Amino acid sequence: MKWESVKLEQIASINGGKRLPKGHDFSSFPTNHLYIRARDIGNNRITASDPVYLSEHTSNKLKLYTVSGGDLVVTIVGANIGDVGYVSAEFSGANLTENAARLRIDKNVCNPKFLSAQLSTSHAKEKFQFIASGAAQGKLGLYKIKSFDVILPPMKIQSAIAEILSAYDDLIENNRRRIQLLEQAARLLYKEWFVNLRFPGHEHVKIKDGVPDGWEKGAISDLGEIITGKTPPTKTPENFGGNIPFVKTPDMHRSRIIVEIEEYLSERGAATQPKKNLPAGAILVVCIGAKLGVVSITSRPCQKPISKSMLSSHVRTT
């Protein structure tokens, strides 16, 4: 049985995604048109734990940039260059960000799940990042993906390997869903105790001015400094592509710590807004747009943008 080395362009058609058209934004409510961002891609899967959607009108403008079940997607910019996800039937028809590429596999010669597993290894990711490092802003160009070498055994072996790995993927997905249920339970418990004030022993606590006796009402400004962010000049490419996390609204998830960020600033870019630094543990609140009211917490020092379509503020606790 012969195992051979082939380039990705020999077994797949490779195309880029597309950014939202100028003047368009995410839908303020769920639709049938899911939008896959770079942060949704990784660990051999698509994980839209905090999904965003497009309107029918916006989706029609991006109809050439959708994925189908069995496709693979690869992130091509940012700190997570080389993250790979297998597109399950659940995400078929979703629009794809410009920060990722789509690989449509020739299933006559390659099992997509086998290839996705191979490209999701740390070795493959390191190689993707290495070949992307030659670009000024660290971008994995489509031509570089096309020339990427992979190893293909006979189809029978590919399918056997893919079947074994898929069983583990199913276990991981089940655990992920359990985590989501636990997070939902935690939010409901918080609401019951601190909003509805039905905490253990509440029957014996006197309510005064709408709060338990001994509590007091205050303003967020009493807890720390409140500021808005700022975006470095986008016409200067040198402001971006460094290693300073730059939080945007799509990076924020309701009641979650921010751990995955799509865009990074250079030292030069960060210097254009020195008073907009966020320490770890800063609270972020989206103040406008489709994700209005979403609250998140930073897990590491970073910076926060502001634009016409995305405005956020944060409290730096003292």
Q: Is residue 27 part of a domain?
A: yes
Yes or no: say if 80 and 44 are a contact pair by the CB < 8 Å rule. Answer: no
Task: Name the burial class of residue 235, with classes exposed (0-12), middle (13-18) and buried (19+) by CB atoms within 10 angstroms of its CB.
Answer: exposed
68 occurs within a structural domain: yes
CATH number at residue 274: 3.90.220.20
Distance CA 101, CA 38 (A): 10
- Same domain as 145, residue 18: yes
The model's pLDDT over 19-44, given as tens digits with 9 standing for 90+, comes to 998 889 899 899 999 999 988 998 88
131 and 9 both lie in a single domain: yes
Find the length of the chain. 318
Instruction: Provide the token pair at 77.
Output: 């910019």
Query: Domain containing 11: what range?
Result: 4-153
Q: Does residue 70 sit in helix, strand or coil?
A: coil
pLDDT (tens place) for every residue of the chain, 318 residues total: 688 999 999 999 999 999 998 889 899 899 999 999 988 998 888 987 778 999 999 999 999 999 999 999 999 987 789 999 999 998 999 999 999 999 999 999 999 999 999 999 989 998 998 888 765 567 899 999 999 999 999 999 999 999 998 888 888 878 878 888 898 899 899 999 988 999 999 899 998 888 898 888 888 888 888 888 778 887 788 888 888 888 877 777 665 666 667 678 888 888 887 777 788 888 888 877 667 778 888 888 887 654 333 334 444 433
* Amino acid letter for position 268: R
> Is residue 229 in some structural domain?
yes
140, 31: one domain: yes
Q: Is residue 11 helix, strand or coil?
A: helix
- CA-to-CA separations, 64 to 19, 35, 36, 178, 228, in angstroms, rounded: 12, 13, 14, 35, 36
Domain shared by 227 and 124, yes or no: no
| pLDDT (0 to 100) of residue 310 | 35
Tally the domains of the chain.
2
